[in-house]
Homo-oligomer: A and B are copies of this chain.
Amino acid sequence: MTTETGRAAVGEILKRVAEEGRSALTAPEGRAVCEAYGIPTPQERLAASAAEAVARAGEIGLPVVLKIVSPDILHKTEAGGVLVGLGSEQEVADGYATILANAKAYDASARITGVQVQQMLTGGQEVIIGAVTDPSFGKIVAFGLGGVLVEVLKDVTFRLAPTSTGEALSMVDGIAAAEILNGVRGGEAVDKTALAGIVHRLSQLVTDFPQLAEVDLNPVLATGAGATAVDVRILVDPAAAAEPVRFSQDEILAAMNRIMKPAAVAVIGASAEDGKIGNSVMKNLVNGGYAGEIYPINPKAAEILDRKAYPSISDVPGDVDVAVFAIPAKFVPSALEEAGETGVAGAILVPSGFGETGNIELQNEVLAIARRHGVRILGPNIYGYYYTPENLSATFCTPYDVKGGVALSSQSGGIGMAILGFSRSAGMGVSAIVGVGNKADIDEDDLLTFFEHDDNTELVAMHLEDLKDGRAFAETAKRVSAKKPVVVLKAGRTSEGAKAAGSHTGALAGNDRVYDDILRQSGVIRAPGLNDLLEYARGVPKLPTPKGENVVIITGAGGSGVLLSDACVDNGLTLMRIPDDLDAAFREYIPPFGAAGNPVDITGGEPPSTYRNTIALGLSDDRIHSLVLGYWHTIVTPPMVFAELVADVVEEFRRKGIHKPVVASLSGDVEVEQASEHLYAHGVVAYPYTTEKPVAVLGAKYRWARSAGLLP
| A binding-site residues for B, Cβ under 8 Å | 147-148, 151-153, 176-177, 179-180, 184-185, 275, 280, 352-353, 356-358, 397-398, 410-415, 417-418, 420-422, 424-425, 463, 465, 489, 491-497, 499-501, 503-505, 528-531, 534, 553, 555-570, 575, 593, 595, 597, 599, 601, 603-604, 630, 632-633, 635, 667-673, 688-693
Say whether B560 contacts A414, CB under 8 Å. yes
Could you tell me the distance in whole angstroms from the C-beta of A351 to the nearest C-beta in chain B? 11
A667:B558 contact, CB within 8 angstroms: no
B184:A669 contact, CB within 8 angstroms: no
Task: Please state if B151 and A153 are interface contacts (CB–CB under 8 Å).
Answer: no
Residue in contact with A414 in the complex, picked from B152, B413, B558, CB distance below 8 Å: B558
Q: Say yes or no: B465 contacts A562, CB within 8 Å.
A: yes
Give Cα A601–Cα B630 distance, bound, in whole angstroms.
43
Determine which residue in A275, A560, A604 has the highest number of CB atoms from chain B within 10 A of its CB, and name it: A560
If A177-B152, A184-B152, A689-B418 touch, whether A562 touches B672 (CB-CB below 8 Å) is no
Q: A184: which B residues are within 8 A, CB to CB?
A: 148, 151-152
A671 partner residues in chain B, CB cutoff 8 A: 421
Is the CB–CB distance between A414 and B632 below 8 Å? yes
Contact call A358/B152, Cβ cutoff below 8 A: no
Chain B residues closer than 8 Å to A500, beta-carbon distance: 553, 558, 561-562, 564-565, 599
Among A356, A691, A692, residue most surrounded by chain B Cβ atoms (within 10 Å): A691
Known contacts A669-B417, A673-B425, A691 near B148 by CB under 8 Å = no
Beta-carbon contact of A353 and B593 below 8 Å: yes
Q: Contacting A668 at CB < 8 Å: which of B180, B417, B561, B692? A: B417
Taking CB atoms, residues of chain B closer than 8 Å to A420 are 668-669
Closest to A563 in B: B491
Q: Give me the 5 closest cross-chain CB pairs, A-B, nearest first.
A: A412-B559, A414-B557, A357-B593, A497-B566, A494-B569
User: How distant is A643 from chain B, measured CB to nearest CB, in Å?
Assistant: 14
Q: A176-B153, A566-B494, A692-B531 are in contact. Are A418 and B668 (CB under 8 A)?
A: yes
Check A559–B491 contact: CB distance below 8 A: yes
| Chain B hits for A353, CB < 8 A | 593
A604 touches B413 (CB 8 A): yes
Q: Which B residue sits closest to A504, measured CB to CB?
A: B558
Specify how many copies of this chain sit in the oligomer. Answer: 2
List the B side residues contacting A496 at CB < 8 Å. 565-566, 568-569, 575
Contacts A504-B595, A593-B356, A669-B420 given: A690-B529 contact, CB under 8 Å?
Answer: yes
Check if B185 sits within 8 Å of A531, measured CB to CB.
no
B-chain residues with CB within 8 Å of residue A501 when the two chains form the complex: 562
Complex Cα distance, B599 from A569, in Å, reads: 35
Interface centre among A180, A530, A633 (most CB of B within 10 A): A530
Contact B417 A151 (CB under 8 A): no
Q: Is the CB of A670 within 8 A of B559?
A: no
A563-B530, A668-B417 given; A689·B570 CB < 8 A: no
How far apart sit A682 and B177, CA to CA, in the bound complex (Å)?
49
Smallest CB-CB separation from A490: which chain B residue? B566
Residue on B nearest A529 in the bound complex, by CB:
B692
Contacts of A555 in B (CB 8 A): 414
4 further A-B contacts with Cβ under 8 Å, apart from A417-B633, A422-B689, are A412-B557, A418-B688, A500-B564, A529-B567
Is B601's CB under 8 angstroms from A672's CB? no
**Smallest beta-carbon distance A355→chain B, Å:** 11
A569 CB to nearest chain B CB (Å): 4
Complexed CA–CA distance, A630 and B418 (Å): 11
- Given contacts A153-B176, A176-B153, whether A397 and B669 have CB atoms under 8 Å apart is yes
State whether A558 and B505 are in contact (beta carbons under 8 Å apart), knowing that A417-B667, A491-B566 are contacts in the complex.
yes
Chain B contacts for A280, CB-based, 8 A: 635
Give the distance to chain B from A216, nearest Cβ to Cβ, in Å. Answer: 16
- Asked whether A412 lies within 8 Å of B558 as measured between CB atoms, the reply is yes
Tell me, in angstroms, the Cα distance from A148 to B180 when the chains sit together: 7
B667 lies within 8 A of A421 (CB) = yes
* Given A414-B604, A504-B558, A635-B275 contact (CB < 8 Å): yes
Q: How far is the CB of A328 from chain B (nearest CB, A)?
A: 12
A489: which B residues are within 8 A, CB to CB? 563
